[in-house]
Structure 1
Amino acid sequence: MIIPINELEQSTLLNLVEGFVLREGTEYGEFDCSLEDKVKQVVQQLKNGEVLLVYSELHESVNIVPKEQFNPTENEY
């Protein structure tokens, strides 16, 4: 299930994104980015619709996935 980010408290959204960034160990190439910058980048991607905030009832977890990879009929994220 896609979670609309505009229905979340700002602090909740930031906590979810921060957890995702730390969990994924996101690599940003040659340039070192601060955690704050990484979180801002992911939040912007969510706002632009490039990535989606997805809740999995099966796993009782939230994940951030690229829009083109989200398929609600496939295995639940």
Structure 2
Amino acid sequence: MIIPWQQIDPATLENVIEAFVLREGTDYGAEERSLTQKVDDVRRQLQSGEAVLVWSELHETVNIMPRGAFRG
């Protein structure tokens, strides 16, 4: 189920995004990016609709994923 990110408390959303970034360990190529920059990137993706915040009832977890990868 997609959770509208706008309905999440800003501090909670910040924590969810930060946990996602730390968990993913995404490779940004030759240029290293700070945690703040990575969090800002994910926030922009949520705001643009490119990424969505998803609740898994099966696993009782929240995740962030590309909109095209979500099969709800």
TMscore range, shorter length: over 0.9
Q: How many aligned residue pairs are there?
A: 72
Name the Cα RMSD after superposition.
Answer: 0.6
Matches within 5 A, 1:2-13: 2-13=2-13
Q: Which residue of 2 is the match for residue 75 of structure 1? A: none
TM-score by length of 2: 0.97
Structure 2: give runs of 5+ residues left out of the alignment: none
TM-score by length of 1: 0.91
Q: Distance in 2 between matches of 1:17 and 1:26?
A: 13
- Percent identity for Structure 1 against Structure 2: 53
Q: Distance in 2 between matches of 1:16 and 1:27?
A: 19
Structure 1: give runs of 5+ residues left out of the alignment: 73-77
Q: Distance in 2 between matches of 1:4 and 1:35?
A: 23
| Letter aligned with residue 32 of structure 2 | D
Alpha-carbon displacement from aligned partner over 1:31-57 (angstroms, at most 9, x marks no partner): 010000000000000000001000001
Task: Point out 4+ residue stretches in structure 1 off by more than 4 angstroms.
Answer: none
Q: Distance in 2 between matches of 1:5 and 1:49?
A: 10
